[in-house]
Amino acid sequence: MKVIVLGAGINGTTCALKIKEKYPDYDVTLLGAQFSPNTTGDGSGGLWYPYFCGKTPEALIRKWGIETYGQLLYLWRQGGYGISLQPVYAMYRDGTHSAPEWTNHVFGYVELDSKQLEYFNKLFSVQYVAGNTFNTFVVNPSTLLKRLEQQLDELKVTRKQGSVKSLTDSMLRHYDVIINCTGLGAREVVPDDKVHPIRGQILKVDAPWVFYTIQDKCSGHYIIPNDTFCVLGGTGQANNYSTEVNNDDTDFIERGCHNLIPSLKTANIQKYFVGLRPARDEVRAEAERINGKLYIHNYGHGGSGFTLFWGCGSTVLELFEKHVAINNTSKL
């Protein structure tokens, strides 16, 4: 059986790994226009927190997200994957939010009480009326991607740089199964006009004195420290394809994040980054047949690629196993 996974971001890399681990005799290729450190995920905050998932049903966010949370716990215990465990504070300037279902499954989720809010309001000089906290994982994306790529190499998955124009590209004719994890590329490759960018600009700074993540859910600012740098964000501009750093966005990010943690004014800036979150009205993880060939789609993760990747990879593997079982039965 010859399998090709299109897209070498966190989702494609995970799918190639899961399939090859389960079926070591199959010929698995990972094809990507870009590999780490040049995928969208390399510039992401790496925070486990469902964000910009469109109308993906809450039950699926819980299923994929909590399986991924469990895998991050497993990898964090192993060490060496660039994963840190830390509290996240989500703060609101209005009181209209409700707790989604996944909050029942993460460690230590609580709504902040009035004393805690009072403390934060003095600390941050912003008047929040509600907030919550739990313990979550922050991935250093390039470290995790490199480790997964090493595992692919050890398992003898072929990694190739290249692009396809469509799902029926002649380059794909020798493969039995095509797994489509092309992110924003799915807009042209499928084609699927529900796929669109949500532009994210961030700053990476050195701030080893920051030990927790904070998100202002109303202004959109966030501060996410990982094991080597701290991400200050950010923008979420739908249908904006610009990958240029915008000075107004930089001012917006700096002003908002410095307001939250004033000591960040002294932090050395490592890098400005702009990435296009591969968004869709909902994550697409499903199989279809085109001209008798099996295609399994796994794209549209928006701002949650590092929050859903392992769970979505399991769904892809289940769909793949179903196909293999049907194939084997038809040969009897």
- Please report, to the nearest 10 degrees, the dihedral formed by the alpha carbons of residues 192, 198, 203, 208 taken in order: -80
Is residue 44 a contact residue for ligand FAD (CB under 6 A)? yes
**According to the binding rule CB under 6 A, does residue 7 interact with ligand FAD?**
yes
Minimum CB distance to ligand FAD smaller for 195 or for 294: 195
Number of residues located near ligand FAD, criterion CB under 6 A: 41
Stretch that binds ligand FAD, among 38-46, 203-211, 289-297, 313-321 (CB under 6 A): 38-46
Residue among 45 and 117 whose Cβ is closer to ligand FAD: 45
Identify which range of 59-67, 105-113, 170-178, 275-283 contacts ligand FAD by CB under 6 A. Answer: 275-283
Which are the contacts of 213, defined by CB distance < 8 A and separation ≥ 6? Answer: 47, 49, 86, 87, 88, 89, 136, 138, 222, 223, 224, 225
Q: What is the DSSP letter of 306?
A: H
Cβ atoms of 295 and 285 within 8 Å: the answer is no
Whole-angstrom distance, CA of residue 106 vs CA of residue 250: 33
The residue from 5, 12, 136, 215 that contacts ligand FAD (CB under 6 A) is: 12
- The answer to whether the beta carbons of residues 7 and 180 sit under 8 Å apart is yes
Q: Looking at beta carbons only, is 29 or 121 nearer to ligand FAD?
A: 29
35 marked as binding residue: no
40 is a contact residue toward ligand FAD (CB under 6 A): yes
**CB within 8 A of 111, min separation 6: which ones?**
99, 130, 131, 132
My answer on whether omega of the bond before 191 falls inside 30° of 0, hence cis, is yes
Per-residue burial over 162-178, b if 16 or more Cβ lie within 10 Å, else e, is eebeebeeeebeebebb
x/- map, 199-228, ligand FAD, by CB under 6 A: -x-x--------------------------
Among 5, 45, 207, 313, binds ligand FAD (CB under 6 A): 45
The interface region with ligand FAD, picked from 3-11, 74-82, 96-104, 251-259 by CB under 6 A, is 3-11
| Contact region with ligand FAD (CB under 6 A), list: 29-37, 81-89, 100-108, 203-211 | 29-37
Tell me which residues in 182-201 interact with ligand FAD (CB under 6 A).
182-185, 189, 200
Q: In 122-267, at which residue ranges do the beta strands (DSSP E only) sit? A: 130-139, 158-161, 177-180, 196-206, 213-216, 222-225, 230-233, 237-238
Residues 77-116 that bind ligand FAD (CB under 6 A): none
Tell whether 187 is in a known binding site.
no
If one asks whether residue 234 binds ligand FAD (CB under 6 A), the answer comes out as: yes
Using CB under 6 A as the binding rule, whether residue 31 contacts ligand FAD is answered as yes
Which residue stretch of 20-28, 39-47, 72-80, 112-120 sits at the interface with ligand FAD (rule: CB under 6 A)? Answer: 39-47
Long-range contact set of residues 146-150: C-beta below 8 Å, sequence gap at least 24: 146/36, 147/80, 147/81, 147/82, 148/10, 148/13, 148/14, 148/17, 149/13, 149/35, 149/36
Residues 289-318 that bind ligand FAD (CB under 6 A): 299, 301-307
Residues 7/296, Cβ–Cβ less than 8 Å: no
Binding residues (CB under 6 A) for ligand FAD: these are 6-12, 31-34, 39-41, 43-47, 163-164, 181-185, 189, 200, 202, 234, 275, 277-278, 299, 301-307
- Numbered residues of the known binding site: 164, 182, 222, 277, 302-307
